[in-house]
Amino acid sequence: MYRFLLSRAIGLVFVLLCVTFITFIMGYIAPGNPVRALLGLHYTPELYSQLLHTYGLDLPWWQQYYNFLNNCLHGTFGLSFHYENRPAWDVLKDGLTTSVDLGLEVLAVTILIGIPIGILAALRANTHVDTSLSTTILVFYAIPDIALIVVFQLAMVWLYNQNLPSLPVAGWDSWQAHIGPVLITATTGAAYFSRITRATILETLGQDYIRTARAKGLSERRVIWLHAMRNACIPLFSYIGYSLAFIVTGLFITENLFNIPGLAYITINAVGDRDYPVIQATTVLVSVAVVICNALADLGYAMIDPRISIE
């Protein structure tokens, strides 16, 4: 266990060094000048030089990178170019709660819808129930979220104009506003979960130990839930761990089209403002989340199936 945790910690450091360096270099060589854009019509050579010095942009690239790493270790990620005298983390944390809330709700709905549908399709394999569910799943899996969001918003606007009950198409300040973004964003994930669940359960039900359990006279419910589902859940942990990683930043398309003020929404605005410290901070957060959540998924493997070693 300790060897596993140590290897993951070393891997996290290596990944972060690579990510921070690549992210910094991309911002360093990007066309345009963020300070010049920040000043706009207020540009003067003296003020320009002063801001370059304030942000450390007049230093050699290797010193700028060292300062960036130091800011990461202190949790500030440097000063934002767009928001005066505010650290990048101070800008991002405003949307942290919203993004975590959105991500957890999406993940919960994804699991609660996707896994039961996959189980039902597997238990009714090659029947009209399986065919109907598989067809519906494939349709929702193929349709991109952006198309569903546009259709949903147009429908809600039409209902509102007809004085009929409708849901909000923007914002995050009421429980009604949560329904559209969460359900639409969860459709793709639920479809994927259901497909994985169906495939793994069907494969598991064909194993020798399942036939042995049935031969011993165990009830079908006990065979499915105690034996088959325990092994079928192992591949799902990989996707759950991967999904948890992106709770940190929320979902870019959803937050922007629904005007939800989360981390992704702030980051997209930072791209337009050339606010590189905020962009770099988001990238580092995503990298940390991916490594940590993948490690948690591996730990979940061992909890479900003791035959899997993490030493």
Kindly state the tokens that stand for 188: 């793709």
pLDDT, averaged in runs of 10, over the chain (311 residues): 71 81 82 74 80 82 87 85 84 85 89 88 86 86 87 94 91 90 87 85 82 80 77 72 62 87 85 83 80 72 60 54
Which pLDDT does position 46 carry in this prediction? 82
Q: How many CA atoms lie within 13 A of 143 on its CB side?
A: 19
Spatial distance between the Cα atoms of 41 and 116, rounded to a whole number of angstroms: 59
Q: Where are the alpha helices (DSSP H) in 55-164?
A: 61-74, 88-92, 96-123, 128-142, 145-161
Instruction: Tell whether the torsion through CA atoms of 13, 15, 21 and 23 is positive or negative.
Output: negative
DSSP 95: G
- Tokens 């709660």: give the residue: 97
User: What are the angstrom distances between the C-alpha of 7 and each of 4, 124, 258, 295?
Assistant: 5, 43, 40, 10
The answer to whether residues 94 and 261 touch, using CB atoms and an 8 Å cutoff, is yes
DSSP 307: T
How many C-beta atoms surround the C-beta of residue 210 within 10 A? Answer: 17
Local structure of 204: helix, strand or coil: helix
